[in-house]
A and B are shown apart, each in its own frame.
Chain A
Amino acid sequence: MNLNFVWLALGEALSPTTAAYALATIGLVVHFGFTGLLNFGQAGFMAVGGYAFAITTLKLDWPAPFAFLATIAAATLFALILGIPTLRLRADYLAIVTIAAAEIIRLSVKTAELTEITGGATGLNGAGRVFNELNPIPEGRYGFGVLTYTADQLWLRVFGWALVLLACLIVYLLIRSPWGRVIKGIREDEDAVRSLGKNVFAYKMQALIFGGILGGLAGALFILPRSLQPDNYGTQLTFFLYTIMLLGGATTVFGPVIGSMIFWVVLSLSDGLLSLGINSGILPLTTTQQGPIRFIIVGVALALLVVFRPQGLLGNKKEVFFNA
């Protein structure tokens, strides 16, 4: 019996994809957990960031640091366009507008007319190469057993997790600052904050931009180890991020990191166990039936979490604001 999958699944905890999901979820925590904005379009922010990074590196030949700046600029712009008209809407209206905006982005970049710029339905490939030019780690193989990485793979992991930790630190400091107290106040009672003379709209917009930038950077990080596929940015990406957020704790800073690690390790483990069961004939399924099961697990987990443990693993039940 080959149990390598256990190690590979544990290795998922540190993969760049896990880091990208964690980063995007930190952005979502800023939106939903701290400000109370029901943003269902985080996949749109990731798409905007990913495309900004890929287009500037591949089509305009910008070096990676400038491409990251372009990513931040694009996410800011998207947040402004989205936020100016919608931040005055009720929570569930905002949810529908953001989910629609994310779908508009995904469908627009896919059109054949834009193939020159966005690669159409096939997307863009090779943004990771430009990023690897920055790699300071000498050639060679690092790690042990099945978890051995090339210099480029190691560089990507180090960079990705450094970015996540940096984001955690900034959010941690911001939430403890006067600014953080105001946005938490907006989450609890918008009118009360308004009556104190605070410009609620401006604070909401700042939170939307900040969380959106984290989402955009996550989108860039997400495409470094793979090619950019427009269909990766569908609505279910946002739903995955919500599952991660509710798993770790929607009102915590480190919840998204723990949530993302658990999410991906559990998914890989379940995939591995299913493969094992199917190949040995224990489970009466075919290998093509294996794929859907991970989504069923996510869906059931999301529904159960929000009802039975809305505060997540790290959260405080007293701070669960959305159960009213």
Chain B
Amino acid sequence: MTDHSSRVRRAFAALVGLLVGFLAVFAAVAAPASAAPASSAPRAAGDVIDPNTAEESIAVWIRQTSDKAGIPGVGVTVIGDDFDQTFTTDAEGRVYVGLPGPGTYSVEVDEATIPAASGTLPDAASPREVRVAQTNKNVPANFLASTTAGGGAAAPAPDETGGSTPAPSNTDEATGAAPPSATTGGTGFWGVVATKLATGLIFGLLLALAAIGASLIFGTTGLNNFAHGELVTFGGLMAYTLASFGAPGWLGILGAIVLGGLFGLVQDTAIWRPLRRRRVGLIPLMIVSIGLALATRYVYVLFYGGDRLTLPNNPAPFLVLGPISLRFTDVFGAVIAIVVLLGVAYVMLRTKLGKAARAVADNAPLAAASGINVDRVIRFVWIGAGALAGLSGVLIAYYQALRWDTGSAILLLIFAAVTLGGLGSAFGALVGSLVLSVFMNLATLVLPENLKYAAALVVLILILLFRPQGILGRKERVG
């Protein structure tokens, strides 16, 4: 046990170190923000495609914030694979762009062509990545120009964040992707690195919330819970539901935590505890969790549809530190995550329940023999895991996007983070999440953006091969 607690203390030191480093990154790069991206000379690649006959198209609409009037004559450049075309908005401020195929396109507004009377776009608005799925027509890319300083901060329109992308395609590399606002970059190589570090750390904190629960469940019950992603999505969806009833943001977050915990409790009571009683093996349990994940995920589609859901969010930069530009929700999400993670650390280290949970994870029969009610501990672990996953879900929904598969898309990242940190160790999951997320984002310096998820999975495989006990895990026979 002394070995265990010294490891825990080391982990705690690592956690504090990481959080301090997180702040240092902000301080280190507090250079003046760079100017808006320079408009490049007109380029053209690929053929102009008639938007009326194209299978996929983007609808760009540039308007003024004050009276929502379209701004005509603005140059818009759309860049994608083998496609690079410049267009001019029509009298209504609209332009329809036919595309050669699905994919991610960058839509950039030539700010020099916006009349001075109409003002400017918010810093983070252009260029914007627009994801177009197969047969998606008129995917919205709306821009609002305003004359107030600070861009659209004065009047953020709900559709400013990109609108909905219909079609439930099962793409998932959007996950762990940079949020729309934090990637404006521009002060050279180190600016890009700093931006990616910040993105990686924030996402890592959100991932950690989900990963800790998964790690505790694995530690106490031995279950690789393939339905953990659905707990994450559940939190986001509950916050979305509350928001659609007009609840303020804090109530949505609280609701996601409470309802997420309740979901965990219901799952344990209705499914996992009876299965433990039946002495069902670990492999069948894992397959049950897969079935549960599949069914739950599509129940979400049934009720919420396959489109992207948007929580009310202010896209304007809230904190600008050198090349890093963060929205209010990015900063607050990270702060909430840090506070909650410290709370979890306290519970795990100082309370009876946390000690009991660690004892069960260490050796369940021994814990039971020393008078710990193992079933009760596991029930609390499920409640805690559900609540943490729910919080992770709502924060991820604010950070990037919410869809029916938001959680399932990061499931393998959760597994990778848990494995990296050390299976069954709560602190390992936290360290693993941060390391993995930062690595993933820095990997995009040399890899194409959509391969970063694959890069994280390569890390997962390498760890399992060379250090299966993870960074903080205890050594045990795994093969």
Interface residues of A (CB under 8 A from B): 38, 85-86, 88-93, 95-97, 99-101, 103-104, 107-108, 110-113, 115, 120-122, 231, 234, 236, 239, 242-243, 246, 288-289, 291-293, 295-296, 298-304, 306-307, 310, 322-324
Residues of B within 8 Å of A115, CB to CB, are: 81-82
A231 contacts B171, C-beta separation under 8 Å: yes
B478 contacts A107, C-beta separation under 8 Å: no
Known: A90-B479, A97-B461, A289-B302. A302 touches B101 (CB 8 A): no
Question: How far is it, in angstroms, between the C-alpha of A304 and the C-alpha of B224 when the chains are bound?
Answer: 18
Question: How far is it, in angstroms, between the C-alpha of A18 and the C-alpha of B82 when the chains are bound?
Answer: 37
B448 contacts A293, C-beta separation under 8 Å: no
Give the contacting residue for B305; candidates A92, A288, A298; CB below 8 A. A288
Identify which of A38, A90, A296, A322 gathers the most chain B CB atoms within 10 Å of its CB.
A296
Question: How far is it, in angstroms, between the C-alpha of A189 and the C-alpha of B223 when the chains are bound?
Answer: 22
**New A-B pairs, 8, CB < 8 Å, besides A111-B450, A292-B301:** A86-B465, A89-B479, A92-B283, A120-B103, A231-B171, A296-B302, A306-B288, A307-B278
Identify which of B288, B294, B461 gathers the most chain A CB atoms within 10 Å of its CB.
B294
Residues of B within 8 Å of A243, CB to CB, are: 291
Question: How far is it, in angstroms, between the C-alpha of A221 and the C-alpha of B295 when the chains are bound?
Answer: 28
Residues of B within 8 Å of A85, CB to CB, are: 461, 465
Question: How far is it, in angstroms, between the C-alpha of A278 and the C-alpha of B465 when the chains are bound?
Answer: 51
User: How close is A255's CB to chain B, nearest CB, in angstroms?
Assistant: 16
Considering the complex, give the chain B residue whose CB is closest to the CB of A303.
B291
Known: A89-B468, A107-B451, A111-B448. A99 touches B412 (CB 8 A): yes
Query: Can you list 20 A-B pairs, Cβ within 8 angstroms, ordered by A?
Result: A85-B465, A96-B224, A97-B460, A104-B457, A107-B173, A107-B451, A113-B448, A120-B101, A234-B172, A236-B294, A242-B287, A289-B302, A295-B295, A296-B302, A298-B294, A299-B293, A300-B295, A302-B287, A322-B281, A322-B283
Give the contacting residue for B290; candidates A239, A293, A322; CB below 8 A. A239
The 7 closest A-B pairs by CB, nearest first: A299-B295, A299-B294, A303-B291, A302-B291, A292-B298, A295-B298, A100-B457
Residues of A within 8 Å of B81, CB to CB, are: 112, 115, 120
Residues of A within 8 Å of B299, CB to CB, are: 292, 296
Question: How far is it, in angstroms, between the C-alpha of A242 and the C-alpha of B291 when the chains are bound?
Answer: 10
Question: How far is it, in angstroms, between the C-alpha of A260 and the C-alpha of B297 when the chains are bound?
Answer: 23
Please encode chain B, from 146 to 171, with 1 for each CB lying within 8 Å of some chain A CB and 0 for all others. Answer: 00000000000000000000001111
Chain A CB within 8 A of B30 CB:
no
Considering the complex, give the chain A residue whose CB is closest to the CB of B307.
A288
User: How close is B405's CB to chain A, nearest CB, in angstroms?
Assistant: 10
Question: How far is it, in angstroms, between the C-alpha of A99 and the C-alpha of B464 when the chains are bound?
Answer: 13
Question: How far is it, in angstroms, between the C-alpha of A235 and the C-alpha of B170 when the chains are bound?
Answer: 10
Question: How far is it, in angstroms, between the C-alpha of A299 and the C-alpha of B282 when the chains are bound?
Answer: 18
B412 contacts A100, C-beta separation under 8 Å: yes
Give the contacting residue for A92; candidates B286, B292, B460, B465; CB below 8 A. B286
Question: How far is it, in angstroms, between the C-alpha of A90 and the C-alpha of B218 when the chains are bound?
Answer: 15
Question: How far is it, in angstroms, between the C-alpha of A91 and the C-alpha of B479 when the chains are bound?
Answer: 8
Interface residues of B in 432-473 (CB under 8 A from A): 448, 450-451, 453-454, 457-458, 460-461, 464-465, 468
Give the contacting residue for B287; candidates A89, A236, A306; CB below 8 A. A306
Residues of B within 8 Å of A322, CB to CB, are: 281, 283-284
A302 contacts B454, C-beta separation under 8 Å: no
A293 contacts B302, C-beta separation under 8 Å: yes
Residues of B within 8 Å of A295, CB to CB, are: 294-295, 297-298, 301
Chain A CB within 8 A of B280 CB:
yes
Chain A CB within 8 A of B263 CB:
no
Residues of B within 8 Å of A93, CB to CB, are: 464, 468, 478-479
Residues of A within 8 Å of B461, CB to CB, are: 85-86, 97, 100-101
Question: How far is it, in angstroms, between the C-alpha of A265 and the C-alpha of B461 when the chains are bound?
Answer: 37
B291 contacts A306, C-beta separation under 8 Å: yes
B101 contacts A110, C-beta separation under 8 Å: no
Chain A CB within 8 A of B306 CB:
yes
Question: How far is it, in angstroms, between the C-alpha of A288 and the C-alpha of B306 when the chains are bound?
Answer: 9
Chain A CB within 8 A of B102 CB:
yes
Residues of A within 8 Å of B399, CB to CB, are: none
Identify which of A111, A121, A322 gathers the most chain B CB atoms within 10 Å of its CB.
A121
Chain A CB within 8 A of B320 CB:
no
User: How close is A40's CB to chain B, nearest CB, in angstroms?
Assistant: 9
Question: How far is it, in angstroms, between the C-alpha of A307 and the C-alpha of B281 when the chains are bound?
Answer: 9
Interface residues of B in 316-345 (CB under 8 A from A): none
Chain A CB within 8 A of B296 CB:
yes
Give the contacting residue for B281; candidates A89, A101, A107, A323; CB below 8 A. A323
Residues of B within 8 Å of A293, CB to CB, are: 298, 302
Considering the complex, give the chain B residue whose CB is closest to the CB of A243.
B291
Chain A CB within 8 A of B381 CB:
no
Residues of B within 8 Å of A291, CB to CB, are: 168, 301
Known: A107-B453, A107-B454, A295-B297. A88 touches B479 (CB 8 A): yes
User: How close is B416's CB to chain A, nearest CB, in angstroms?
Assistant: 7
Give the contacting residue for B101; candidates A111, A121, A304; CB below 8 A. A121
Question: How far is it, in angstroms, between the C-alpha of A300 and the C-alpha of B282 when the chains are bound?
Answer: 18
Residues of A within 8 Å of B169, CB to CB, are: 231
B468 contacts A324, C-beta separation under 8 Å: no
B224 contacts A92, C-beta separation under 8 Å: yes
B224 contacts A104, C-beta separation under 8 Å: no
Identify which of B81, B168, B169, B306 gathers the most chain A CB atoms within 10 Å of its CB.
B81
Considering the complex, give the chain A residue whose CB is closest to the CB of B418.
A96
Question: How far is it, in angstroms, between the C-alpha of A38 and the C-alpha of B290 when the chains are bound?
Answer: 14
